[in-house]
Amino acid sequence: MEKAAIDALLKEMQAPTRGEPTPRVKAIVDRIVRDLFYVIDEYDVEPSEFWSAVNYLTQAGRNDEYGLIAAGLGFERFLDVRLDAAEEAAGLTGGTPRTIEGPLYVAGAPLCKGEARLDDGSEEGEILIMHGQVRDTDGRPVAGAHVEVWHANTRGNYSFFDKSQSPFNLRRTIETDAEGRYRFRTTMPSGYAVPPDGSTDTLLKQLGRHGHRPAHIHFFVSAPGYRKLTTQINIDGDPYLHDDFAFATRDGLIPAVERNQDPDAIAEAGLNAPFARIAFDFELRSEAAALPSAEVQRPRAEAA
Ligand code: BEZ
Ligand code: FE
């Protein structure tokens, strides 16, 4: 079609006919519709293809997979890149890199002071001890910070979404001690994969992509006066370490994993089996005026 003919159609269709439009919503929706008209025309999309796409989107919603699709198409990473750029433009530098939250956080995990055990003891996996300090960008410890941690089990599944796990398995909030320290014991996670043959998997296959993530552990780290940090660490050595379908791997978020077989080290850690250990410190950026909020509002699961 002639560009002028498409634009004339859009002008007619997008004219307000009742009441005052909400300017931001109208501007964005009008732009998306315009871009889709152009895509349909440029790719000569047939009516059956259009309705197939509508049906795909309907089914993806029914499957509750938009959180996965948003990550897989790179939107979640793109929002992070834009937040990073806004902070840099405001002169905020240093601090632990942010990376995506993903759709598998559950609010309301038990609060523990200083240290916690995350696993319920039902799995045989490798024992992992992770510990470190929360500091500000000047190196001062942040006491009383909340370190919210969640991760998958040895099969790559998350409690709450995987109903075979106990409530809040592998999920806790740890309050840092007077020196800003936290510590937890857990079982080493495995990488996550999107549900086989679900909406995300179907789409990714058509794009010549897979739906795997490297093994990782999620964190929200927050304290009054600081920007909330949403981040993850990846488990070094994972085959998908630099091939994450959600684009969340970042330099500075791949700490060394120390494997301990030595009986003295095992006894000193209060354990009776070999274990892995990760030391990782978090650095929080101070809150600053006129920045987009680092406290992202999105629908999140909440366990009773
Ligand atoms: C995850 O963190 O496990 C995840 C992230 C994005 C999409 C799906 C899962
Ligand atoms: Fe995850």
Domains and CATH numbers, the chain: 3-45 (no CATH), 70-302 (2.60.130.10)
Rounded CA separation 64/78 (Å) = 21
Instruction: Name the phi and psi angles at 249, rounded to 5.
Output: -70, 130
Q: Please give the distance, rounded to the nearest whole angstrom, from the Cα atom of residue 69 to the centre of ligand 1.
A: 10
What does pTM read for this prediction?
0.97
CB < 8 Å & 24+ apart, contacts of 34-41:
34/10, 37/6, 37/9, 37/10, 38/6, 41/1, 41/6
Q: Give residues whose Cβ lies within 5 Å of ion ligand 2.
A: 102
Answer whether 202's CB lies under 8 Å from 196's CB: no
Q: Which ligand is nearest to the CA of 194?
A: 1
Query: Please, what sign has the CA dihedral across residues 163, 167, 172, 173?
Result: positive
Instruction: Report pLDDT for 128.
Output: 98
Q: What is the mean pLDDT of each run of 10 residues along the chain (304 residues)?
A: 97 96 98 98 98 98 98 98 96 96 98 98 96 98 98 98 98 98 98 98 98 98 98 98 98 97 94 96 94 95 85
> Residue 70 corresponds to which tokens in the numbers above?
């948003």
Instruction: Report pLDDT for 289.
Output: 87
Please indicate whether residue 104, judged by its CB atom, sits closer than 6 Å to ligand 1. Answer: yes
Instruction: Report pLDDT for 303.
Output: 84
Answer whether 183's CB lies under 8 Å from 115's CB: yes
Residue owning the nearest CA to atom 3 of ligand 1? 192
> Which helix (H) or strand (E) is 48 found in, with range?
helix 47-62
Residue owning the nearest CA to atom 9 of ligand 1? 102
283 bridge partner residues: 135
Rounded CA separation 182/131 (Å) = 6
Q: Is 197 helix (H, G, I), strand (E, B) or coil?
A: coil
Instruction: Report pLDDT for 167.
Output: 97
